Structure 1
Amino acid sequence: MASTIDNIGLYGSTVGKLNLSTSTLAWSSATTSDKYSTTSSNVVHAEWTVYGKMAYLRVTVKDSDGKKSLRRFDGFATSSFDSVKSQFLTNYDVEVVKTKMDLTGASYGLPTLKDSRLTFNSNEVSPDGTENNPGPEMMSLEMSEVSQCVMRGTGKDRNLIELQFQDNDNLEKNSDQLVQISFYVPPEADMDLSDRSLKTTAEDLHAELLQASNINSATGSIICEFKSDTLMKFLSPSGKYGIELYDGYLRMQGSKYDFKIKYTDISRLFLLNRPDGRAFFIVALEKAVRQGQQKHSYLVIQVDKNDSTVALNLDEEAKNKSGMKDEKLSGKFSNIMAKAFKLITGKKVFVTGKFRGYRDYEAIPCSLKANDGLLYPLEKQFIWLHRPPVLVRFEEISSVEFQRYGGSGASGRNFDLAINLRNAGDGGSKEYVFSGIEKTEFPLLKQFLNEKKIKITNLREDNGRKSYNEGDSDDNAGPLDLGSADEDSEDDGDYGDADAKKEQDAESSDDDMSDDDDDMSEGSDVEEARKRARGEPITAKAPAKKRAKKTTSSSPRKKGTKKKKDPNAPKRAQTSFLIFSNANRAKIKEENPDIAFGAVATKLSEMWKACTEDDKIPYEEKAAEDKARYQKEMESYVPPDDLSDAPTPKGKKSPTKKKAAKKDPNAPKNAKGSYMFFSTAKRAEIKAENPDISFGELSKKTGEVWKSLSVEDKQPFEDLAAEDKERYNKETEAYKKMKKEALAMSSDSSSDDSDDSDSDSDDSD
């Protein structure tokens, strides 16, 4: 006897059909390829529960290994109980038991752990008040779905247990799912909680839940193991973890959390050198792991480069496949970890490419929002570390933009790099802004972007401003392939002695500073054009006193003179109110012939305020169209360097335009004061503590904190300022000496040229 019931949902999946036959119990989704099936002999128990207007059926089945697990089917009509009961008796010889649910909303009860199922029942007290008896069921949890079981309390508070569940990617969109639950287990009344040798009731239950959930269980033998020691430190997720590599998955075991990650869920591996002589080893995950409320899509491990040895437990087949003869890996610890992961997971390891910064670093120090980190320009992608890591492939980049840094006292020394993505899902375009990059990195970063053919939207060349659009990234370089130690390629190679020697013998490859560095200087029209395109207000570039120092004219600016405007510049977009005013101004004058000019504007404002939202829609639509027109025209608009040819207002003389002298890029960087060192060190910390603080309030808050410091607290920053001043004095002395020698050489060269000219003149006579 077989029966098929439609519109039945399987917990953790979608809605489909349930088929009850004499041979199998089967379910299949109506919208996806999800299926479930078990033989009739594996069905051992069934419970029927009514919840509201619907009912659900919980079926206990035996798995292939003999363990019991639970399958829950939802969406039954309450009137179908007799039919379902009959089917189970006939086909599976199983009695369907009715289970009553406690719907009072109580948040406490008695837990029962049976097989892999944790059930909470309401607490019913006996009439004499001496016994607690389990009442109707409040909730049940399947322990096979638990990903973490953690004791959150410590010391005297060892009474709180937290369960975390695996994220289900098969649920329909906008469906809710349980990802975490915590419950409190009261201790025994007479127990001394300060005695750590005594286990609380919560700790006993925690041990039982761990065993039922199989979180700590591992199948197979360990191929390679990295213990939690001084050679490696987890930065994300934070904590002390040991790593065990098995055949098919890795295990991260910590004091509280324990993670199992399949190798198929690993998308990329990275080994990136840090400026301090250590390295980052990064594991990019397809499915994020959860630590408390925080999800982590990247495992970021700080690894040292000290010499070490790690044992490998490879069978003969794996040895022949990998070409490994020895049963251990020796060398730098960072290289050993990369080799082991590549060998066992079968994933390629990406490393840094040809880019080197101004200080010969492989990364650029910068900030993303309020977090400091390192930006690595790799061969096919940018990766920023470390909280949270950001990975941007070149093929995802629409364009990049250089922006001036707005930090207090540092506007001439730093700049920002804005990376605009092509697609960012339903949210439209997305932008990452990496701020606080030292200006010395500009020519090297610009050269790197040009080589990768990444569009730069605001770059100034010597012959004028130019928009770079040289096509999409066409880089054919691949990830690092950890093969033999003899390989020596920029893109693919092994971590062996050859690379160690190359690291030691590497020389600085900094390019000479070029005049392009001045593109980020104050007064550039690029920023103004960019703001106009975005519809942002144009603010003054610098205080009046600062501008007065830069000018070479001794006479003040005459009253009434206006800043030159390019007649070819796109016409600014009109607002909805302005379009409304233009449409109704003539009508108001016609109805009120004697109305004053100022009164017309007042009347228009009153009419606009009286309009409803529906009345304003036509004007807002026209304003949106005009804004789109303006932005499109601004994309192809190139502001001219010189506006001397622009028309001058009638009766006014065109003022003589004098260009400010360019700063010598070889000049020493000015010394920073003690407050600047303090601001650089504490600004990000203050911003993190006050996420919604404005820029002006942030500067004010930083100043207040500085003033509140004692002399002893300020001393470290005073010492840094003194060291920087000493550095500046030495560099200034060397710079002046260099300029003096260059001037002398130039003078000698001019004298020689003059003598040669006279000699030629004599010969010609």
Structure 2
Amino acid sequence: MESFERIYLDLSKQPGKCRIAETGLGWKPSGGGDTFTLDANNIQAAQWSRAAKGYELKILSRNAGVIQLDGFEQEDFDRTVKVFKLFYGINLENKEHALRGWNWGKADFGKSELSFNVQNRPAFEVPYTEITNTNLAGKNEVAVEFSLPANGSETGTNGHLGGARGKGRKAGAGKDQLVEMRFYIPGTVTKKEENEDGEEKSGDEDEVEEHNAANLFYDTLMDKAEIGEVAGDTFATFLEVLHLTPRGRFDVDMYENSFRLRGKTYDYKIQYDHIKKFMLLPKPDDMHTLITIGLDPPLRQGQTRYPFLVMQFKREEEVIIELNMTDELLEGKYKGKLLPRYESPQHSVVAQIFRGLAGKKVVTPSKDFVSHHQQSGVKCSIKANEGHLFCLDKSFMFVPKPAQYIPLDNISVLVMSRVGGAVSASRTFDIAVIMKDGQEHQFSNINREEQKPLEEFFAVKNLKVRNEMLDDSSALIQAALNDADINSSEDEIVAPKADRGSADEDSESADEDFQSGSDSDVAEEFDSAHESSGSGSDEDMADASDGDANGVSDNERAVEPKKKKAKTNK
């Protein structure tokens, strides 16, 4: 037996004692904890190389992935070579890493890890057990996402999920963590190259097919890392569900412990444990219902993080579905939670199945609030993003983008104010939500008709409100009425009317276009967003110009000559 002190297993925070014996290998942390053991028959190969804390002994096992032992001294190499040759009949390979710093090279798929080689030397290796997802981010680009540990203490050395083989356990060791890596893979490969070690070897040119190299890399990684495999069969599947956040259409597969979103470009697997909030929000258009799911940790798509998923369903669209579940499981684990068959509106079925599988309470809008139009939400904006603010029993929720969740308990004061000119301010108002920690959320362009229902809801929830509109309301209205008489400049007369006309166009036509196109595919989602940022401005400008030519402008032109004539006479 050979013993080595101050050795770190799989990036563990605490060092331990490593012992190599004829029966196998063992590691025990110095501060106490679970002991990791590896049987001799499970050791397939071993490598020696420079690492973070000295020298590393990497063991490739037959069924436990990659085991990393870091912290060896350089003089320990000879002892380790002898014991591996004597005990296991394995030649310990001394591997040197590429130190050129190049970011281009060749990817090599091994049995347990992906190796990125530069000039036939490994620059870095990625164990398959640390990969949680991969997506085709472009025609020639593949994104690889790494597992997130549940907490920093789970480093793979405390007995979770078979010792060192738990997904994401290694990453819990450090303060900083690599969460995504992208590979650019140009060119194509032929079918013959893809199946070099296959059974069929055909020389016919007609049977040789070219494949995108990035697609082949993606498919190989999916197979090696077993990303596509989910334990058990799907209990229920909903096809082409429209998502407002992140935008797109995804197939929703529901499993026992997780659900999966499958899109054309991105593929996500989300544990039910990550669901923190589940809300069923009827959209104020009487046509759609939104399902909003709060996630922690949030969903990641490149550099963007999505703490909320927002799905949209047609309110009247019904679905008939039978759960793919045995009677024993349904009567045992899910008795009283799930039904064998559903025939209801789709949003109701999805909510009920999520509630049964995830065990999360479905939150609906508060009964204490009804808007002026008998809805549960009001239309407003966060900066340039239009959406709806829903009043829940314990919080405010703004959807779809950016989704904002505001607990009522953390609110310090609500400030109601008017922003803008005299005429426009009389039709809309803003609400600033100031939190106890000083953070502020601004909701603007709320219809003046919603002021009274909102004030009643604030009073029921005992929220502190500061109304800055009471003192100057009469003065603003009077100023708007007398504006034409007070000002003698023609520019000052035209400006408020022009602003009012454009405001009318924005508040009415843009919203109608958004509602009529909200049931459609993603392209129309982009169209609606584009309209809000000005794509519909051509039609609006045309309408405004017609209105100026035929309506307001005629009156103004009728008044202007008289004023000029009066000035000339003077």
Q: Which residue of 2 aligns with 1:558?
A: none
* 2:17 and 2:30 in contact (8 A); partners too: no
Within 2, Cα distance between the matches of 1:381 and 1:103? 53
In 2, the alpha carbon distance for the partners of 1:260 and 1:290 equals 11
> Per-residue deviation at 1:280?
0.5
Which SS does the other structure have where 1:240 is aligned?
strand
Match of 2:436 among 411, 415, 422: 422
Q: Could you tell me which residue of structure 2 aligns to residue 741 of structure 1?
A: none
Task: Determine the structure 2 residue equivalent to 1:303.
Answer: 313
What number of residue pairs does the alignment pair up? 477
**Residue among 126, 134, 137 paired with 1:141:** 126
* Aligned counterpart, 1:61: 61
C-alpha distance in structure 1 between counterparts of 2:33 and 2:434, whole Å: 38
How far apart are residue 351 of structure 1 and its match? 0.8
The alpha-carbon distance between structure 1 residues 210 and 326, as it changes in their structure 2 partners (threshold 3 A), is closer
Q: Aligned in 2, Cα 1:121/1:671: closer, same or farther, shift over 3 Å? A: closer
Partner residue of 1:253 out of 253, 257, 262: 262
In 2, the alpha carbon distance for the partners of 1:225 and 1:109 equals 40
Q: 1:351 to 1:58 in 2, by over 3 A?
A: same
Alpha carbons of structure 1 residues 439 and 327: separation in structure 2 relative to 1, 3 Å? same
Cα deviation for residue 72 of structure 1 reads: 2.8
In 1: Cα distance, 2:66 partner to 2:472 partner: 64
Is the contact made by 1:51 and 1:101 (CA closer than 8 Å) also made in structure 2? no
> Which residue matches 1:715?
542
Q: Structure 1 residues 104, 93: closer, same or farther in 2, change over 3 A?
A: same
Percent of paired sites with the same residue: 22
Deviation at 1:47, TM superposition (A): 1.6
Q: Per-residue displacement from partner, 1:482-506 (whole Å, max 9, x unpaired)?
A: xxxxxxxxxxxxxxxxxxxxxxxxx
CA contact (8 A) 2:13 2:173 kept: yes
- The superposition leaves residues 539-598 of structure 1 with CA deviations (integer Å, 9 ceiling, x where unpaired) of xxx89x949949x99xxxxxxxxxxxxxxxxxxxxxxxxxxxxxxxxxxxxxxxxxxxxx
Does residue 316 of the first structure (1) align with residue 327 of the second (2)? Answer: yes
Match of 2:159 in 1: none
Deviation, 1:213, is: 1.4
Task: Give 1:102 shift.
Answer: 1.0
Structure 2 matches for 1:202-221, cutoff 5 A? 202-221=214-233
Letter of the 2:218 partner, please give it. H
Which of 289, 293, 296 lines up with 1:283 in the alignment?
A: 293
Q: Is the 8 A contact 1:29 1:35 kept in 2?
A: no
Partner SS state of residue 289, structure 1:
strand
The structure-2 alpha-carbon separation of the partners of 1:53 and 1:383, relative to structure 1 and needing over 3 Å to count, comes to: closer
Gap change, CA 1:92 and 1:3, over 3 Å in 2? farther
Structure 1: 5+ residue runs without aligned partners?
124-134, 424-428, 461-516, 524-541, 554-669, 685-704, 726-765
1:220 Cα deviation from its structure 2 partner: 0.8
Is 1:518 equivalent to 2:531 in the alignment?
A: no
What do residues 219-267 of structure 1 show as CA deviations (whole Å, max 9, x unaligned)?
A: 2122111111xxx301122222111111111121122222221111211
Q: Distance in 1 between matches of 2:510 and 2:128?
A: 46
CA 1:717 to 1:378, structure 2 compared with 1: closer, same or farther past 3 Å? farther
Q: Distance between the aligned counterparts of 2:179 and 2:301, measured in 1?
A: 15
| Map of 2:212 onto structure 1 | 200
1:26 offset after TM fit, Å? Answer: 2.9
Tell me which of the two structures has the higher relative contact order, counting C-alpha pairs closer than 8 angstroms and 6 or more residues apart: 2
Checking the alignment, whether the CA contact within 8 Å between 1:150 and 1:256 is kept in structure 2 is yes
**CA distance in structure 2 between the aligned counterparts of 1:351 and 1:397, rounded to whole angstroms:** 20
Q: Within 5 Å, which residues of 2 pair with 1:533-552?
A: 546=479, 549=482
Distance 1:411 1:113, change over 3 A: same
Checking the alignment, whether the CA contact within 8 Å between 2:45 and 2:60 is kept in structure 1 is: yes
How many Å apart are 1:218 and its aligned residue?
1.9
Match of 1:292 in 2: 302
Correspondence 1:373-522 to 2 at 5 A? 373-406=387-420, 410-423=424-437, 429-456=438-465, 458-459=466-467, 518=470, 521=473
What residue identity is the alignment partner of 1:299?
L
Q: 1:40 to 1:339 in 2, by over 3 A?
A: same
8 Å CA contact 2:141–2:182 kept in 1: the answer is: no
Whole-Å separation in 2 of the counterparts to 1:209 and 1:92: 31
What's the CA shift for 1:682?
11
The answer to whether the Cα contact below 8 Å between 2:7 and 2:69 also exists between their aligned partners in 1 is no
**Paired amino acid for 1:26:** W
Aligned-pair CA distance for 1:274 = 0.3
Matches within 5 A, 1:535-684: 546=479, 549=482, 673-677=500-504
1:238 aligns with 2:227: no
Counterpart position of 1:346: 359
Q: CA deviation at 1:38?
A: 3.3
* CA pair 375-300 structure 1, distance change in 2 beyond 3 A: same
Aligned residue type for 1:239: G
Aligned: 1:17 with 2:16 = yes
Larger radius of gyration: 1
Whether the 8 Å contact between 2:131 and 2:147 is mirrored in structure 1 is yes
Equivalent pair of 1:27/1:37 in contact (CA under 8 Å):
yes
Instruction: Report deviation, 1:327.
Output: 2.8
RMSD over aligned CA atoms reads: 4.1
- Return the letter of the residue paired with 2:99: L
Could you give the per-residue CA deviations for residues 173-196 of structure 1, whole angstroms, max 9, x where no partner exists?
A: 75242522222243369x9xxxx9
Distance 2:498 2:540 in 1: 21
1:186 and 2:13 correspond: no
- Normalising by the residue count of structure 2, what TM-score does the alignment of the two structures yield? 0.73
